[in-house]
Chain A
Amino acid sequence: MAAPKKGRRPAGGQSRPGRALALILIAMVALTGGMFWSGHTTPRLGIDLAGGTSITLKAKAEPGQESAVNETNMNTAVGIIERRVNGLGVSEAEVQTQGRENIIVNIPKGTNEKQAREQVGTTAQLYFRPVLAVAAAEQPATPNATTSPTPKPSASGATADKGKTDKSATPTATASTQGRAVTEALKAPSPTPTSTTTPKSTGSPKTDTPADPATAALQQKFATLNCLDPKQRTAASKGVLPTDTTVACGKNAIGQWEKYLLGPAEVDGKDVDDAKGVFDQQRGMWIVTMDFTSGGAKKFQKITGKLSQQQEPQNQFAIVLDGEVVSAPSVRTTLSANAEISGSFNQESAQDLGNILSYGALPLTFDTQSVDTVTAALGGEQLEAGLIAGAIGLGLVIIYLVVYYRGLSLIAILSLGVSALLTYVIMALLGPAIGFALNLPAVCGAIVAIGITADSFIVYFERIRDEIREGRTMRPAVERAWPRARRTILVSDFVSFLAAAVLFVVTVGKVQGFAFTLGLTTLLDIVVVFLFTKPVMTLLARTKFFGNGHKWSGLDPKRLGAQPPLRRTRRQSVSAAGPVDPKEA
């Protein structure tokens, strides 16, 4: 709060504009070089500009379990959704958490958006169902597929497992005598000739079946189900209640599709307390351990007790996630609270299954908040409109600056140019670095930032003009104006940055993209003003055109109505002293 010291101190770093300019030049060259080197020469476009579908999901915790919405659970959920979406053959779909409780799924254009939405929108459902029958994924139309109900290689895996500890269940997918299994399982009074055993009868229900129509329908469904067709896989699980007997597809240990006939769910995902893929040191293999809740343990005990009495393949239970069999271990003994699944796991598959099991145990469901489908044409149009608007806005600002500040506008325009270049390059680099995608609000933010950036120059220019009005000559005016302008710029940019930062932290979705751009450009504004505008101003003040206050320089003392100096003596001393740096308290 003390009065500024008026001294003859050399203006410190400010008198060396070359350094600052060299610094920003190096930064610009390095960043631009980095951009070309990385090959990402354009900012990544958001769904709303490039076209595609963006889905926002909000996690909903079950009453009393609000703490379930936490980072770990959200990340598991992201993993599951990613699996689902990319299972549709979408390679570039990105799934990410946003804020504390939102998941954003961005699916680029050209994918089956409708199917993706269905997959993403549904809650992961995990059930343990007893296996009633297993068969190879058949293609009814192709004879060679139907004629091969041969034991799968995985069956041998199951045999090899026999000597193992009692507690272990083995993921097997055994294709065997499914005809008998189906009939037995469905408890049809008379043996029903099932289509699966004979290729020729495929798809023709037997009229003499005394079983109730539901059973017959199910048998037919099992017979005709072709697991190699993704559509049929999805359709098979549609609208199935946990209490239904159902058909489902799943991959066996060697990655081949198989179809299953499954009984009603005995245990569901909520009964699993925790599950992990762990490495068993003793046996030197990856296994999945499961802990059940007390209720779950009872149910699991019941089902394993029953299953362990059965013959292959009915001694298996299938772990069904979202209607797909993830694993179908066979059971050799009654299990209860703790269980482990062993078999031919590698690290990835063990941890995957562990995640799936624990995700099924999560008390999380997701609400679809918004689905935004933008066609590529509309996205392109919006991008174009945004760019045109930005160009016109920039043009208007330049015209205004030229009219009002004349020669000074050159500095402003150059600074805006530097700012624009840096913004562009950083946006392009942030795409691969942190997944930044330029969306429509971000474009708006960049356009709005033109005003913020230009304001810094205006503050500085007006300060210089004030100094000139007081009768100072150009060079001292430029130096004296700087500390004051600097403080104003810092204080106001801080407020602007604070607003952007708060918005970024607190909000979600589109608002966040906007806030990010605004914050980024505010920071760049400070960099540009300090390292570019001020040094250039210092340099130009040395030229005749600006230094002598040419009529068109924007710093003509006459036009500005400079006052004759009040204290002649003092002014002389000031100009004699050259640049003066009034240090602000």
Chain B
Amino acid sequence: MSKLGDLGARLHRGEVGYDFIGNRKIWYGISILITITAIVALAVRGLNMGIEFQGGAVFTTPKTNVSVTQAQEYAEEASGHDAIVQELGSGSLRIQVGGLDTEKSDQVRAQLSKDLNVPENKIAAELVGPSWGEQIATKAWTGLAVFMILVVIYLAIAFEWRMAVAALIALIHDLTITVGIYSLVGFEVTVGTVIGLLTILGYSLYDTVVVFDSLKEQTKGITKQTRWTYSEIANRSINGTLVRSINTTVVALLPVAGLLFIGGGVLGAGMLNDISLSLFVGLAAGAYSSIFIATPLVADLKEREPAMKALKKRVLAKRAAAAAKGESLDEGTDLAEGALAGEAAVVGQGRRGRSSENRG
């Protein structure tokens, strides 16, 4: 507890110095594992596609005395298809019947109204033809593709192509994890899910962009100094924006959690629930990927550049020389600092040494 409290206080003071980049192999490994799990789950179990994607009907009745099993019998008898019946928080029933076309579902609704002894106009019905979901899915894919292309172009111009690539990989990573969780848990995929998933696009990148923005700022004029390598500065910008990332994620998740638990709790399954569930999963994945995947990837890509390689060499040489002279690095001169872009680049300079103590 005290350790957690201590971390909280240090987060508050902006003092954390975890070595994200140094441990990137671990995070890559974890992400690859999760991604493979997601893909396998998707291949083996597939997705539980909702009514919107198969064609069928969802009927929502007002409060009735009919039991769930009884209602299920009625629905299956009336439709000749399997029915899923859920009781909602308000005591009403949600009856879902797959494989119906819009014509047939009308008859089923009329029959249900008789069986359940509820006036027909009190039964809400969502009748979906089989091609509707397909249309939504096609449009969603188009949207996804268009958005990815535009955002990569934008990031490549606003930042650089390496960041665009890293952001894209992080985005795909988030989507894969979200889809994987849906497949594993067997949550139903509805139009609401698709909406949520598409929203993750914006959110996931939003988070990544904030970290990149700080990274870009801190690495201005990086070749003019010999104190730090690109990776080290990248690590510091992650740490520098960590508080913000955590706060942003918490603040974004709170309303979504409200939607998920309260909205869903009152109404049972429904669009509120579907959107918020996929958002919840995707947001968490997005926060993770912007810290553990996107930025380390940028550092990796950057370190391949000749300029950065040369810088690393100079930095290491300087450190070796300093070590030979017995000088402490942390209290080193501020000579190089002036060459760096802004003071922000030196925030936390004295705390680099803490990274080891945070490990574990």
Give residues in A with beta carbon < 8 Å to B: 1, 3-4, 48, 56, 58, 99, 102, 113-114, 117, 121, 367-375, 377-378, 381-382, 384-386, 388-390, 392-394, 396-397, 400-401, 404, 440-441, 443-444, 447-448, 450-452, 454-455, 458-459, 462, 465-466, 469-470, 484, 487-488, 491-492, 494-496, 498-500, 502-503, 506-511, 514-515, 518, 559-561, 563, 566, 582, 585
A375–B14 CB distance below 8 A: no
Q: Which of B65-73, B265-273, B296-304 contacts A (4 or more CB under 8 A)?
A: B265-273
Q: Which of B24-32, B40-48, B142-150, B174-182 contacts A (4 or more CB under 8 A)?
A: B142-150
Known pairs A373-B123, A484-B344; list 13 more (Cβ under 8 Å): A370-B132, A373-B126, A375-B124, A378-B124, A440-B272, A448-B256, A448-B279, A451-B248, A458-B247, A466-B14, A469-B13, A494-B154, A508-B135
Most chain A CB atoms below 10 A, which of B105, B128, B151, B251: B251
B217 interface hit (Cβ, 8 Å): yes
Residues of A within 8 A of B341 (CB): 3-4
Residue of A nearest to B57 (CB): A371
B267–A371 CB distance below 8 A: no
B12 interface hit (Cβ, 8 Å): yes
Residues of A within 8 A of B271 (CB): 48, 382, 440-441, 444, 510
From A389, A450, A561, B15 is in contact (CB under 8 Å) with A561
Residue of B nearest to A395 (CB): B258
A372 CA to B123 CA in the complex, in Å?
A: 11
Residues of A within 8 A of B150 (CB): 498, 502
Residues of A within 8 A of B14 (CB): 465-466, 469, 560-561
Beta-carbon contacts under 8 Å, B71-127 to A: 90, 92, 102, 105-106, 121-127
B206–A503 CB distance below 8 A: no
B169 interface hit (Cβ, 8 Å): no
Smallest CB separation, A273 vs chain B (Å): 30
Given A495-B206, A561-B14, answer yes or no on A506-B126 (Cβ-Cβ < 8 Å): no
A369–B206 CB distance below 8 A: no
A444–B240 CB distance below 8 A: no
Smallest CB separation, B92 vs chain A (Å): 8
Smallest CB separation, A454 vs chain B (Å): 4
B343 interface hit (Cβ, 8 Å): yes
A491 CA to B210 CA in the complex, in Å?
A: 8
Given A484-B217, A510-B191, A511-B198, answer yes or no on A370-B127 (Cβ-Cβ < 8 Å): yes
A154 CA to B285 CA in the complex, in Å?
A: 73
Give chain A's interface secondary structure class: helix
Residue of B nearest to A1 (CB): B220
Residues of A within 8 A of B344 (CB): 466, 484
Smallest CB separation, A261 vs chain B (Å): 30
Most chain B CB atoms below 10 A, which of A102, A374, A400, A451: A451
A441–B192 CB distance below 8 A: yes
Given A498-B151, A508-B139, A582-B342, answer yes or no on A369-B129 (Cβ-Cβ < 8 Å): yes
Smallest CB separation, B78 vs chain A (Å): 16
A370–B129 CB distance below 8 A: yes
B135–A369 CB distance below 8 A: yes
Most chain A CB atoms below 10 A, which of B90, B206, B209: B206
Given A56-B132, A514-B199, A560-B12, answer yes or no on A498-B210 (Cβ-Cβ < 8 Å): no
Residues of A within 8 A of B346 (CB): 566
B267–A381 CB distance below 8 A: yes
From A372, A386, A495, A566, B202 is in contact (CB under 8 Å) with A495
Beta-carbon contacts under 8 Å, B194-208 to A: 194-195, 198-199, 201-203, 205-206
Residues of A within 8 A of B220 (CB): 1, 3, 585
B184 interface hit (Cβ, 8 Å): no
B143–A507 CB distance below 8 A: yes
A488 CA to B128 CA in the complex, in Å?
A: 43
A444 CA to B271 CA in the complex, in Å?
A: 9
Residues of A within 8 A of B347 (CB): 466, 469-470
B262–A511 CB distance below 8 A: no
Given A397-B254, A444-B272, A509-B136, answer yes or no on A503-B106 (Cβ-Cβ < 8 Å): no
Residues of B within 8 A of A392 (CB): 258, 262
A495–B126 CB distance below 8 A: no
A444 CA to B221 CA in the complex, in Å?
A: 43
B275 interface hit (Cβ, 8 Å): yes
Smallest CB separation, B74 vs chain A (Å): 19
B263 interface hit (Cβ, 8 Å): yes
From B140, B201, B209, B343, A492 is in contact (CB under 8 Å) with B209
Instruction: List, sorted by A's number, 22 A–B pairs whose CB atoms are closer than 8 Å.
Output: A4-B341, A114-B106, A367-B131, A370-B126, A370-B132, A373-B124, A375-B123, A389-B255, A389-B262, A390-B258, A392-B262, A393-B256, A396-B257, A455-B248, A466-B240, A469-B14, A495-B151, A495-B202, A499-B199, A502-B147, A510-B271, A560-B12
Smallest CB separation, B195 vs chain A (Å): 5
Residues of A within 8 A of B343 (CB): 470
Contact pattern, B 334-350, Cβ under 8 Å of A = 1, otherwise 0: 10000001111011001
- In the A-B complex, the 6 residue pairs with the closest CB atoms: A393-B255, A451-B252, A499-B202, A393-B258, A561-B13, A389-B263
B52 interface hit (Cβ, 8 Å): yes
Smallest CB separation, B352 vs chain A (Å): 14
B205–A495 CB distance below 8 A: yes
A518–B140 CB distance below 8 A: no
A466 CA to B52 CA in the complex, in Å?
A: 49
Residue of A nearest to B283 (CB): A451
A197 CA to B60 CA in the complex, in Å?
A: 52
Smallest CB separation, B253 vs chain A (Å): 8
B147–A499 CB distance below 8 A: yes
B158 interface hit (Cβ, 8 Å): yes
Smallest CB separation, A56 vs chain B (Å): 7
From B13, B158, B209, B272, A382 is in contact (CB under 8 Å) with B272
Residue of B nearest to A54 (CB): B126
From A121, A388, A458, B262 is in contact (CB under 8 Å) with A388
Residue of A nearest to B241 (CB): A462
B244 interface hit (Cβ, 8 Å): yes
From B195, B210, B256, B266, A388 is in contact (CB under 8 Å) with B266
